[in-house]
Chain A
Amino acid sequence: MADVGIVGYGSYIPRYRIKLESIAAVWGADAENYKRGLQLYEKSVPGHDQDTITMSVEAARRAIKRAGITGSQIGAAYVGSESHPYAVKPTGTVVAEALGATPECHTADFEFACKAGTEAMYVCYSQVKAGVIEYGLGVGADTSQGAPGDALEYSASAGAAAFIFGTKNILATVDHTYAYMTDTPDFWRREHQYYPQHGGRYTGDPAYFKHTLGAANGILEKSGMKPEDFDYAVFHQPNGKFPMEAAKRLGFPREKCMTGWLTPWLGNTYSGASPIGLTAILDVAKPGDRILMVSFGSGAGSDAFIYTVKEPILKVQGIAPKTRVQLDENKFYLDYGRYAKFRGKIIRNEG
């Protein structure tokens, strides 16, 4: 059977940022305490004209450019997010239409808290592997909300990553996949509620670590590989601390995780978190490098992937904006007032 892998990838990070200090000052919280506890310094904020749809389109256009294909060649477009702009009306149709992939395209929106992005990737990969489609687009994107003053407000941020799966000119093969899931009530948002609820410390060991480590150990066992066999690892990163702790418990040295560890300056991009981390790795990876990726979504579950980077990557790394460049350059810092306005936290009269 022919290899299946990532043939194009792209990320999109909005230019707006807010520092933890600006949020803490409004709520009378101790910024240093949050910075130490969450290992988080600032987060991205979407402009008021940006949402999951617009960021998905931008990331996908970059992925298409790197893949060297046209939108009409995409046979499936899946967007994973917990902040789809409509309650009823697909994100995927707008994205597919903007890419020129319609009408011969299968589209679905995925939801699974922070895991929806890798779900979209998982299904795209499977569709290509089954021979149903030639190229599939999987996107993870979010403009997540945390309740004002809640710990989540310090981390919930915005970004998108898009991946095109195919069988020709592969940038990184998918060597193994593994999914690990249980019914775990660690984080949720009911219909018509604006902000999510979470179980505080219960989101740690019984949720994040159980599933992230479960999926990581599962895929290592399935593949017969050890941490020493990998050049990079990227885990879901709800804050700066959890992914590094997961790496430590699995026996991955810190330096193998640094490239994809973006949360301290990006915040938690939810469905985009480990996928954007993967784009940062692909931006600098060399042929032969091996990558472990493990996502996590509350509710709860993890998807794990093992990739091997291939020769064609060297030709495409530089042809679309790199993730670290988007993260480190052209930043606009917002104060809390403008941030609240951008995020629609201020209710105004209509008309």
Chain B
Amino acid sequence: MKIRSPRYAREIPQRYRYEAAKTKSGKIFFPPRLVYPGGETATKHILAQTGKVLTWTIQSTGPAEYADMTPYAMAIVELDDGARITSMLVDVEHSTVKTGMRVRIEFRKIRSEGHEGLLCYGYKVVPE
């Protein structure tokens, strides 16, 4: 099992606390960048935690570490502050998933690195 702790730790501000950046002109970047288009500066912005499904799909063949969750729903969600995230959509009957449905972010386990490795946490969306 390859240990991926450093990468997991680097992403904690985004995966746990939804830390994004907002430029002066109002554009939201998630995750934040080192340099912004047009040389703009940006300040810390916490993503809105509710939004609506823009588009979605049911993933029937997932990676091995998601075997227990397959088939699962993935969605591109437009949050209420205008930012868009890609997220697993859980706690829902797949037959009821539709474009435009209201969702909110919940803190979930994203994956387990086998029986011995890290437990990786982050955001998923659930029906509001």
Contacts and interface: CB of A to CB of B under 8 A. Distances in A.
A351 B64 contact: yes
A97 B16 contact: yes
B108 to A, nearest CB: 4
B124 A85 contact: no
Contact of B69 (A49, A98, A100): A49
Contacts of B108: 47, 49-50, 54
Nearest to A12: B106
A53 B121 contact: yes
A191 interface: no
Interface in A10-54: 15, 47-51, 53-54
Contacts of A332: 91, 93
A57 B107 CA distance: 7
Contacts of A47: 90-91, 108
B46 to A, nearest CB: 9
Contacts of A86: 119
Contacts, number: 51
Interface residues of A, number: 23
A51 B110 CA distance: 11
Contacts of A58: 106-107
Interface in A99-122: 100
Interface string B87-128: 000110100000000000011111000110001010010010
Contacts of A350: 64, 114-115
Contact of A348 (B68, B69, B110): B68
B93 to A, nearest CB: 8
A252 to B, nearest CB: 36
A53 B108 CA distance: 8
B121 A94 contact: yes
| B: interface residue count bin | 20 to 34
Nearest to B9: A97
B48 interface: no
A49 B124 contact: yes
Contacts of B17: 97-98, 100
Contacts of B69: 48-49
A50 B110 CA distance: 9
Given A100-B17, A341-B68, A50 B109 contact: yes
Given A49-B110, A97-B16, A54 B115 contact: no
Given A49-B109, A85-B119, A98 B64 contact: no
A85 B121 CA distance: 12
A98 B16 contact: yes
Contacts of B109: 48-51, 53-54
B90 A98 contact: no
B101 to A, nearest CB: 14
Nearest to A350: B114
B68 A48 contact: yes
Contacts of B115: 350
Interface in B39-65: 64
Contacts of B67: 348
A15 B91 contact: yes
B54 to A, nearest CB: 22
Contacts of B114: 350
A122 to B, nearest CB: 26
Given A54-B108, A348-B67, A49 B12 contact: no
Contacts of A97: 12, 16-17
A-B complex: 10 closest residue pairs judged by Cβ atoms? A57-B107, A98-B16, A49-B108, A49-B109, A351-B64, A54-B107, A15-B91, A54-B108, A48-B68, A85-B119
9 contacts: A47-B108, A49-B109, A51-B109, A53-B109, A53-B119, A53-B121, A98-B16, A348-B68, A350-B64
Interface of A: 15, 47-51, 53-54, 57-58, 61, 85-86, 94, 97-98, 100, 330, 332, 341, 348, 350-351
Given A97-B12, A98-B107, A98-B121, 19 more contacts: A15-B91, A47-B91, A48-B68, A49-B90, A49-B108, A49-B124, A50-B109, A53-B109, A54-B106, A54-B107, A54-B109, A94-B121, A97-B16, A98-B16, A98-B17, A332-B91, A348-B67, A350-B64, A351-B64
